[in-house]
Structure 1
Amino acid sequence: MNLPTADMQRDKTFLAGGNWLNRHATVPRWWYDTWNYYINITIFPWLEAGYLCTGHKAVPADYGNNSGYWVPSTYGKFTNQDRSFHFRLRLWKEGWGKEWTPQVVIGANDGIGDSANGGSLSGQSEQGYGNGFWNRYYLAVTKHFYFEDLGTLGTHVSWIYSNRFDNKLNDPAMGANFRFHLKEDGSWLHKVVNGINLMAEVVPGYTDVKEDLTFNPDGAKYQVNVGMEYGFWKDYINAVVELNRCKYFSCGIFFKVHLK
């Protein structure tokens, strides 16, 4: 899912995973379906860092109607990858001070990319079709509500900013998830259901290109997405499926290990 939330992993949690992504689940640079893989570690209870690689396909004409970059014999194959770093810092923990207080996190996606051109922090609006494709910054607020013998409802509100010419954002986003925690009574059905986490979001982010593969500023800015995560083998393995705009399918899997 594309909504940044204030949920944090447990201290010293290591994640490694990958996804197959419909083009509508990415950014305009990927006008074709692609894949990614990533690692993520919670360095401290208040700090997460991640490294993401996204596949580039060799094509005769690429994003921005640029041609001549890829070797013709490789057309149609994934021959390169975009690399980006991601960071999250918790400013306030849920329940600090007063029980009703939410959790607050600030974060950056691809915040230090394209170092050859000054980095993602500089000149994004004039950068053209260069790197820093995932660049955005956000403030996320999350509050949980617990329902005994049923589950946990997470509510999420974010503000997302990016100055890239092809993903210029200064907009709110919102979403919710429900993780089942049915009463443990030895029931096989309860055990199966307790691995389910349902998700829905309304989030800004451009994805469309024109027929000539240049950015389409008239494309949809907001997306309504739904998804489900399922954890099994004591939550060490999690599978994720998403319907972007409630119809475009993407899926992935990640592995979770607690190092502490």
Structure 2
Amino acid sequence: MKNEELKMKDKGRRVKWLLVMIFFAFQTTAAQQYTGTTGLIHTPSAEINKEGTARIGVHFLAKEFSPQPFSYNTGTYYLSITPFSWVEIAYTCTLQKGSRKDVDGNWEKKTGYYYQDRYFSLKLRPLKEGKYWPAIAIGTNDPYGTNGKNNKADVPANEGKSNNGDGKSQYFCNYYIAATKHFPINNHQIGIHAAYRKWKRDYNRKWNGLVGGITYQPSFARNLRVIAEYTGGDINVGADCLLWKHLLLQTSLQNGKYFSGGVCFQMNLF
């Protein structure tokens, strides 16, 4: 009996040490991860990654999370870099569902994720956060679109085209100005984030206007960032963390119901 008790205690100690090691492997992070840039979940912030940070990752998007043309669950993969402390650049691909032509040039009946929507994101931060003032950033996602007729995603019906009649995609096109300020309270950290955002496409208008959110990092787990945000049309909750300095995870619930989440590898190139 004593030997079994000793084994159980030893096993318990090893589990505790493993949990402690995992705990200290976490690092603070901030990401609007489905685009590969910093931010909250769906809304931008004025935060920017450390200079030299590069990311490559994937993200699952519930259909409620995406613009209206994506009336199905989809996913993104991306590459981003922060070459300087005041600028972030990302390149994102979103999977598109549709049918394709067979060898005879006829459209197949079955559909699949055969196509991709591609876009760049850019964020500039002219003002860094100070003791008495917030950080200020301006940015855009998907600012340039390609004409649907020349797009490789040559799909039937409304796939690959917008409902604005200009033949361009730009499903994720938006422009914003954001402000972020952090407040230490009894060794906890509260982040207040606000942004004014304008989307180009009419089907995204529910996300226009003033958006923002609150982040919370407890004193006992600075590695953990809990997020609540208002997107203009939804209230989302989620959390993100960075394991072992390189593995970034994010999970969220759209309106508290629909799951989206992703993972990426990040490293500093400098």
TM (normalized to structure 2)? Answer: 0.73
Is the Cα–Cα contact under 8 Å of residues 127 and 165 in structure 1 kept in the other structure? no
Deviation at 1:17, TM superposition (A): 1.1
Q: Which secondary structure state, in structure 2, belongs to the residue aligned with residue 86 of structure 1?
A: strand
Listed as ranges, the matches of 1:78-93 within 5 Å are 78-93=113-128
Alpha-carbon spacing, 1:238–1:55, altered in 2? closer, same or farther (3 Å): same
Q: Which residue identity does 2:79 align to in structure 1?
A: I
Separation in 2, partners of 1:255, 1:86? 18
Of residues 121, 134, 138 in structure 1, which corresponds to 2:172?
134
Alignment of 1:43 onto 2:83: yes
Of residues 119, 132, 140 in structure 2, which corresponds to 1:100?
132
Q: Which residue identity does 2:209 align to in structure 1?
A: D
Alignment of 1:76 onto 2:76: no
Of residues 110, 126, 146 in structure 2, which corresponds to 1:114?
146
Alignment of 1:202 onto 2:230: yes
1:157 corresponds to: 194
Alignment of 1:6 onto 2:6: no
Alpha-carbon spacing, 1:166–1:146, altered in 2? closer, same or farther (3 Å): same
Separation in 1, partners of 2:134, 2:200? 28
Q: Which secondary structure state, in structure 2, belongs to the residue aligned with residue 167 of structure 1?
A: helix
Separation in 2, partners of 1:129, 1:17? 29
Is the Cα–Cα contact under 8 Å of residues 226 and 238 in structure 2 kept in the other structure? yes
Is the Cα–Cα contact under 8 Å of residues 148 and 167 in structure 2 kept in the other structure? no
Is the Cα–Cα contact under 8 Å of residues 79 and 91 in structure 2 kept in the other structure? yes
Is the Cα–Cα contact under 8 Å of residues 56 and 80 in structure 1 kept in the other structure? yes
- Structure 1 or 2, whichever has the larger Rg, is 2
Is the Cα–Cα contact under 8 Å of residues 128 and 165 in structure 1 kept in the other structure? no
Alpha-carbon spacing, 1:100–1:125, altered in 2? closer, same or farther (3 Å): farther
2:212 corresponds to: 174
Question: Where does structure 2 lack aligned partners over 5 or more consecutive residues?
Answer: 1-40, 150-161
Whose helix proportion is higher, 1 or 2?
2
Q: Which secondary structure state, in structure 1, belongs to the residue aligned with residue 231 of structure 2?
A: strand
Is the Cα–Cα contact under 8 Å of residues 59 and 76 in structure 1 kept in the other structure? yes
Separation in 1, partners of 2:178, 2:141? 13
Q: Which secondary structure state, in structure 2, belongs to the residue aligned with residue 166 of structure 1?
A: helix
Is the Cα–Cα contact under 8 Å of residues 147 and 169 in structure 2 kept in the other structure? no
Deviation at 1:115, TM superposition (A): 6.0
Alignment of 1:223 onto 2:257: no
Deviation at 1:129, TM superposition (A): 6.7
Alignment of 1:56 onto 2:92: no
Percent identity between the two aligned chains: 28
Separation in 1, partners of 2:74, 2:48? 27
Separation in 2, partners of 1:136, 1:107? 8
Alpha-carbon spacing, 1:32–1:180, altered in 2? closer, same or farther (3 Å): same
Separation in 2, partners of 1:160, 1:12? 27
Deviation at 1:125, TM superposition (A): 8.6
Whose strand proportion is higher, 1 or 2?
1
Residues paired across the two proteins, number: 213
2:27 corresponds to: none
Deviation at 1:194, TM superposition (A): 3.9
Q: Which residue identity does 1:230 align to in structure 2?
A: C
Q: Deviations over 1:75-129 (max 9, x none)?
A: 232111100000000021111xxx2100000000101222679xxxxxx994457
Is the Cα–Cα contact under 8 Å of residues 147 and 167 in structure 2 kept in the other structure? no
1:215 corresponds to: none
Deviation at 1:226, TM superposition (A): 0.4
Is the Cα–Cα contact under 8 Å of residues 57 and 80 in structure 1 kept in the other structure? yes
Is the Cα–Cα contact under 8 Å of residues 153 and 179 in structure 1 kept in the other structure? yes
Separation in 2, partners of 1:146, 1:201? 20
Alpha-carbon spacing, 1:45–1:70, altered in 2? closer, same or farther (3 Å): farther
CA RMSD of aligned residues (A): 2.3
